[in-house]
Structure 1
Amino acid sequence: DRLLAAGTVENCYLSLFKADFSRIPPLFINQLTQIILRNILDKTLYPLWARCGEMLFRDQKISVQDSAVMAADANIVELHLSNQAPANLEVVKGTSTAGQKTIELDVLSDANAEIYWDRSDNFDTVLDLRVWSQANEALCRVMEKWVHHFYRSPVQIQPLEQISDDKWVWHIGLDAEATSLLNDMYNGVDVAAERSQRLISLFRMEFRDKSLMRPYIAGRPIYLGLAMTADNILRIKPQNLLINLPLAENG
């Protein structure tokens, strides 16, 4: 009924967040997100964009290895480690020297990206989200398309190593953890080292048309953040990138 009343999937999606949406099953929100992203990325030739799109509707398990920040599908990781993985999933399982179960999945990059198309329904490829990685750049392009699709507002999003801005005026956490962390950082609250290490990605977003922004923010960058939970789960809420934008009243 809600979908029929809204007229389009996009209108239905946005309407969910204009009231209390706590009773709406997350699965329904994720399914709408997947449908919309399929439309946005339908003709893309870039496998990394498609794989990054999955992050907007499927939880990711994060593993930090040296300077790499590896993101694997959380459900698939859990399935592999439970010894119930279907035989058609390409994975090598083993046991680490510490006695923990480990799995090996293919890390997607430009060099091997074409393997994604034959395995996209398996959700069994990994992204390296280190700041200047190919996957992080691809995620920026997907987020740009996400905003433009809803608001027809061209934006530019770039990876960022840290926020060094005395005139920091606006930020958006792309998940609950990042929202809390960025709020504390903005307000000058001391953040424990263990908690700050959960912040895995930062981005800088700018509107190409400054008139679309609220006057007191126009021309200033918007900072975005991704953070994992204490159990290394990244749970992106792409609606945050829509409903928390500082758009002008006629934007």
Structure 2
Amino acid sequence: MNAPPSPSPSPSPRALWPDFWVASGHHLCDRDAQGRLMPTPDLWRAFLARPELLPPEEACEAERVLHAALLRDPLRPVDAATLARLADPDAAENWQVFLGFRDRVMAHPTLEAAWIGLYRAGVQGVPPLFLQMLTQLVTRAAMEGVEDAYVLRAAECLFRPQRAAIHQGALLLADEETVDARAQDGDFGTLGQLLAEAGSPPREVELDVLGAPDPAPYAARADAHDYALDIAETRPGQHALARALERFLAHVMGEEVSIRPAMVIEDQNWSWHVGLDTEATALANDLWHGKEVSQTRLARILWLGVLEFTEPSRVLPRAAGQPVYLALAMDAAQRVRLKPQNLLTGLPLLQAEAAS
């Protein structure tokens, strides 16, 4: 008599957890023991499949051959003579830019280390799209295991430009690209007027405000980037942004910190701050130097945070034991451009070590 079949092992809780930001290509990467991402040929094939790198109809045969060869072997070296055979000098320059980016990334053991290396050495000449894609990948790895939709939505701000809208106690952040696309399509809805005031065309745009921490509904729409986030005082989004920044710093930069939201900076010994965007940097610098700042400019500050290091020995002596104030602001057109690289260059660390 045959023995009864053994029961199938139950999947782990994480295996059942909904995936998110699938379009980032994180599933095309390997992971090291710390969960950091290691690029594979399949990840580079995903880059090569983007419209920006697909040869157009009018492309010469040499460009088509180059693209096909890279699809077969994305890490193959390409010499100057190969690029010189391309009929279009602009196409040759574009390929040189991509290959330079690929080689700079592959010079590091992980994508996280590459992200740090690129911003330390300078990103001049690297297309913003490539930097956005790389930032999304390392942010996705940093958010692995997060079970709070508010934190995941807040983390989108690290790699997706936002529009801000303030209305009836709500301080909403909405994805700029999504707002623009919905407005052009005439997809009407209740948040339209708010977002029109934030710079979108004068028509209504349908977006839902994230209203629950359950990650499943969020994950189902994560790649659409169509949830708005309320970061007003006491709202979950205000604290979620702090949690997202903590996760990013711990995973990408190896810095354990605690961050709490704040309404104002009331510190006679204010010694260090980091603006998370260009507008916030200028505002915080003016305030720190005691310059008069108009109420109109002050009203652009959307979020303040107080950062404290878990390991004080890594902090510059003149900032040791002191909080670091973080600021996020919108510009005059109510656009929000959070730059996580400002944390890399702006925190008072003795030596910011690359994650590897």
TM-score when scaled to structure 1? 0.90
CA contact (8 A) 1:93 1:101 kept: no
- Highest Rg: 1 or 2? 2
2:300 to 198, 209, 224: 198
Would the alpha carbon gap of residues 82 and 152 (structure 1) be closer, same or farther in structure 2, given more than 3 Å must change? same
- Amino acid corresponding to residue 235 of structure 2 in structure 1: S
- Amino acid corresponding to residue 22 of structure 1 in structure 2: Q
The alpha carbon displacement at 1:79 in A equals: 0.9
Identity of aligned residues (%): 36
Q: How many residue pairs align between the two structures? A: 245
Indicate yes or no: 2:282 matched with 1:180. yes
Q: Which residue of 1 aligns with 2:144?
A: 42
Deviations 1:48-97 (A, max 9, x none): 22111111100111001132210010011111111266xxxxx626876x
The alpha carbon displacement at 1:250 in A equals: 8.0
1:133 to 221, 232, 235: 235
2:324 to 187, 203, 222: 222
Would the alpha carbon gap of residues 93 and 109 (structure 1) be closer, same or farther in structure 2, given more than 3 Å must change? closer
Secondary structure in structure 2 of the residue aligned to 1:18: helix
TM-score when scaled to structure 2? 0.65
Which ranges in structure 2 are unaligned for 5 or more consecutive residues?
A: 1-102
Deviations 1:195-214 (A, max 9, x none): 11111110000002211111
Deviations 1:7-58 (A, max 9, x none): 2211211111223323322211111111111111122222222111111100
Q: Which has the higher contact order (CA 8 A, sep 6+)?
A: 1
Q: Which residue of 2 aligns with 1:103?
A: 205
Q: Which residue of 2 aligns with 1:30?
A: 132
2:255 to 153, 174, 185: 153
- Give the alignment's Cα RMSD to 1 decimal: 2.2
Q: Distance in 1 between matches of 2:253 and 2:112?
A: 10
Indicate yes or no: 2:184 matched with 1:82. yes
CA contact (8 A) 1:94 1:102 kept: yes
- Amino acid corresponding to residue 167 of structure 2 in structure 1: Q
Which one has a larger percent strand, Structure 1 or Structure 2? 1
Q: Distance in 1 between matches of 2:110 and 2:213?
A: 38
Deviations 1:174-231 (A, max 9, x none): 0111001100010011112211111111000000221111112111000000001111
Would the alpha carbon gap of residues 52 and 84 (structure 1) be closer, same or farther in structure 2, given more than 3 Å must change? same
1:92 to 181, 189, 202: 189
1:64 to 144, 147, 166: 166
- Amino acid corresponding to residue 31 of structure 1 in structure 2: M
